[in-house]
Structure 1
Amino acid sequence: MDGFLNINKPEGISSYDVIRNLKKIIPRSSKLGHLGTLDPWASGVLPVAVGRATRVIQYLEDERKLYIAEMVLGAISDTEDSHGNISYTGTCLYQEERLLDILASLQGRIEQIPPMYSALHHQGKRLYQLARQGITVERKPRKIEIYSIQLLSQKLENHLPRLTIEVSCSRGTYIRSLCRDIGEKLGTGAYMSRLIRKGSGVFKIEDSTALKEIMDNPHNLEGIIYPLDYPLQNIPALKLYTAEQDIDIINGKSLKWDEALSSGLARVYSSMGNLLALAQIKEQNGMLLIQPKTVFIPG
């Protein structure tokens, strides 16, 4: 079995818990891997690569992510979410115009200080391990990109404002840290109270399948698995002409190519029309070469 499952991860379990569950119903010979870790208390899209699709993960790690986040103003948390120690700031008043200006200022390429409760390393230890020991260390800002950020709703609950935002962002963005920064700029403090991932690259929440539904109906797997090349549609493609060319690519040999192609990554399909490899297209001595990078040996 090869391809991708678009899992709707529920709250309360880790991304690896999803993999562990799927191992119970997917043949042992098939490798499994997920794209982009979701925190246990987040829900939403978790694409899972099955079989040869695990070799595609490296090409998808920089795909855009889309989130819906709820944040509470007037309080802060040591974990930057609702599962930490919460302290009330005593200030929760804000002006909507100022809020919208702050959201606009966060769009584009920015630097973000990651949270202490994260899996990043500091001198050989995970930051969350240090945080649990009561140790706080200086974290270097990391470059991220916020493609868009929109205010969806505002409400008052338990005397504190709750805002819902939609964020399209790059890999490495911590949404709870974004909520923290919005609260700091507003002067109220804030923590993230809920997070839903609506999209990861081409995988959308409206097309996802609940983990429970998959576990309850394992015989339906073939009907919901996406093909190996589904998330690669934005990469140019070429089709080989002969079985001899197929064999050369399978063996990792470079091929001369006469047709016009742009330099860069390309999908290579066999003469029979099956995805055979991801290859680098290079110009050398006035001729184009197809250099295989990742070969998907036919099963």
Structure 2
Amino acid sequence: MTAPTRARVQRRPVHGVLLLDKPLGLSSNQALQKAKWLLRAEKAGHTGTLDPLASGILPLCFGAATKFSQLQLEADKTYETIVRLGVQTSTADAEGDVLRERPVCCTPGQVVQVLDNFTGVIQQIPPMHSALKKDGKALYEYAREGHTVVREPRQVCIRDLELLDMQLDGDAPFLHLRVQCSKGTYIRTLGEDIGEALGCGGHLVLLRRVETGGLQLGQAITLEQLEALEDNARLAALHPVETLLPHHRSLVLSPEESGKFLSGMRRRGDWPNADAVAVFGSQPHALLGVAQVRSGELIPERLLSPVEIQQILLQSAALPALVPLSDNPISPS
């Protein structure tokens, strides 16, 4: 008896940015594939991974937006995390085996001093349970085989380390922290190192990304919310491609200049020097690409194709207003 044939999803060109509130337990790629299926999108990519054991904002790029995903990969991130003090685990989070338990004897003043010491440029040794590769193999693969390999310290920047709440006594002492950091920062390692500096050890019991490159968790949608929407409303949940360009200077070209710019030609004008420019056409108003300005010359870098621009205009014209979403607070409970 032959198995029933599953109906194939009819893919379509979809352009924009989905700010997803990724749930616990899903990898970034699993979340991407689910959203891609719900939107029936032809082309999609994410802006850097968020651990399966972390939740929070994960920008997903569709269509033309994939051309600018690297910008979010390089951006600063903000997390809220809860560090359980007194218990060290093999993975620096709640999934690992308990390696050591120690009493928590630190004072609030010592906590504040230690957090000050971890603010600014610091050195981190990447955890074995990470996707960082050595000799073409992810570190977590070595860890699963019971091997530990030498990892070189990496320099990262903790731009702000805010103590939101703490409990230093009782059965489950913890620190509730908000961390604004540079790309490549391992929050699990940070939590473990803070615990060691306090003399009691520690591991993460919660990790939630609340901001990335200026994009806020309050703007995000869950997979359940997306799935509950009608098809057009799902498309309306997408943010414009230029959402990925919050720090670019905006520049608008005339229709004639727009066509020449899209063909890759440099344009001259009375523009100040700028490393990052988002270039728009005027009639209709549409993102054309990104560029830089040097000595009054607009130099194209990444461009949308005329087909992509036309598809974006048609997609926008057919959609209702963006679906309003509520914030998703973090709680130590």
Conserved 8 A contact 1:202-1:231: no
Q: C-alpha separation between the residues in 2 aligned to 1:50 and 1:242?
A: 26
Q: C-alpha separation between the residues in 1 aligned to 2:179 and 2:126?
A: 17
> Aligned residue for 1:231?
244
> Aligned residue for 1:11?
24
Structure 2 residues without counterparts, runs of 5 or longer: 1-13, 311-333
Q: C-alpha separation between the residues in 2 aligned to 1:153 and 1:28?
A: 42
Q: What's the offset of the Cα at 1:198?
A: 0.8
> Aligned residue for 2:278?
267
Q: C-alpha separation between the residues in 1 aligned to 2:218 and 2:271?
A: 38
Q: What's the offset of the Cα at 1:242?
A: 3.4
> Aligned residue for 2:300?
292
Q: What's the offset of the Cα at 1:148?
A: 0.6
Look up the equivalent residue of 2:98 and give its one-letter code: I
Q: C-alpha separation between the residues in 2 aligned to 1:218 and 1:118?
A: 37
For residues 173-194 of structure 1, what are the alpha-carbon distances to aligned partners after superposition, in whole Å with 9 as ceiling and x for unaligned?
1100000110111111111111
Q: C-alpha separation between the residues in 1 aligned to 2:102 and 2:167?
A: 18
Look up the equivalent residue of 1:81 and give its one-letter code: D
> Aligned residue for 2:269?
258
Q: What's the offset of the Cα at 1:218?
A: 4.3
Q: What's the offset of the Cα at 1:263?
A: 3.2
For residues 215-245 of structure 1, what are the alpha-carbon distances to aligned partners after superposition, in whole Å with 9 as ceiling and x for unaligned?
12142123221111123132112111232x2
Q: Give the 3 Å change call, closer, same or farther, for CA 39–218 of structure 1 in structure 2.
A: farther
Q: Percent identity?
A: 32
Could you say what the CA RMSD is over the residues aligned between the two structures, in angstroms?
A: 1.6
Look up the equivalent residue of 2:179 and give its one-letter code: V
For residues 231-287 of structure 1, what are the alpha-carbon distances to aligned partners after superposition, in whole Å with 9 as ceiling and x for unaligned?
3132112111232x22222221222x221322312111123221101012223xxxx
Look up the equivalent residue of 2:270 and give its one-letter code: E
TM-score w.r.t. the length of structure 1 is 0.93
Q: What's the offset of the Cα at 1:156?
A: 6.3
Q: SS at 2:147's partner residue?
A: coil
Q: What's the offset of the Cα at 1:33?
A: 1.3
Q: What's the offset of the Cα at 1:65?
A: 1.0
Q: C-alpha separation between the residues in 2 aligned to 1:218 and 1:119?
A: 36
Structure 1 residues without counterparts, runs of 5 or longer: none
> Aligned residue for 2:330?
none
Q: 2:126 aligns with which of 114, 134, 149?
A: 114
> Aligned residue for 1:131?
143
For residues 131-159 of structure 1, what are the alpha-carbon distances to aligned partners after superposition, in whole Å with 9 as ceiling and x for unaligned?
11111122111111111111111236872
Q: Does 1:249 align with 2:261?
A: yes
Q: SS at 2:112's partner residue?
A: helix
Q: Give the 3 Å change call, closer, same or farther, for CA 23–263 of structure 1 in structure 2.
A: closer
Conserved 8 A contact 2:160-2:179: yes
Q: C-alpha separation between the residues in 2 aligned to 1:66 and 1:120?
A: 20
Q: C-alpha separation between the residues in 2 aligned to 1:266 and 1:59?
A: 13
Q: Give the 3 Å change call, closer, same or farther, for CA 154–247 of structure 1 in structure 2.
A: same
Q: What's the offset of the Cα at 1:90?
A: 2.5
Q: C-alpha separation between the residues in 2 aligned to 1:164 and 1:62?
A: 26
Q: C-alpha separation between the residues in 1 aligned to 2:246 and 2:128?
A: 37
Q: When the two structures are aligned, how many residues end up with a matched partner?
A: 292
Q: C-alpha separation between the residues in 2 aligned to 1:74 and 1:25?
A: 43
Q: C-alpha separation between the residues in 1 aligned to 2:113 and 2:18?
A: 39
TM-score w.r.t. the length of structure 2 is 0.83
Q: C-alpha separation between the residues in 2 aligned to 1:74 and 1:252?
A: 59
Q: C-alpha separation between the residues in 2 aligned to 1:46 and 1:169?
A: 16
> Aligned residue for 1:49?
61
Q: C-alpha separation between the residues in 1 aligned to 2:249 and 2:281?
A: 15
> Aligned residue for 1:279?
291
For residues 54-112 of structure 1, what are the alpha-carbon distances to aligned partners after superposition, in whole Å with 9 as ceiling and x for unaligned?
11111222222111101111111111111111123333221111111111111112111
Look up the equivalent residue of 1:271 and give its one-letter code: S
Q: C-alpha separation between the residues in 1 aligned to 2:282 and 2:219?
A: 31
Q: Give the 3 Å change call, closer, same or farther, for CA 281–260 of structure 1 in structure 2.
A: closer
Could you say which structure has the higher strand fraction?
1
Q: SS at 1:23's partner residue?
A: helix
Q: Does 1:26 align with 2:39?
A: yes
Q: Does 1:183 align with 2:195?
A: yes
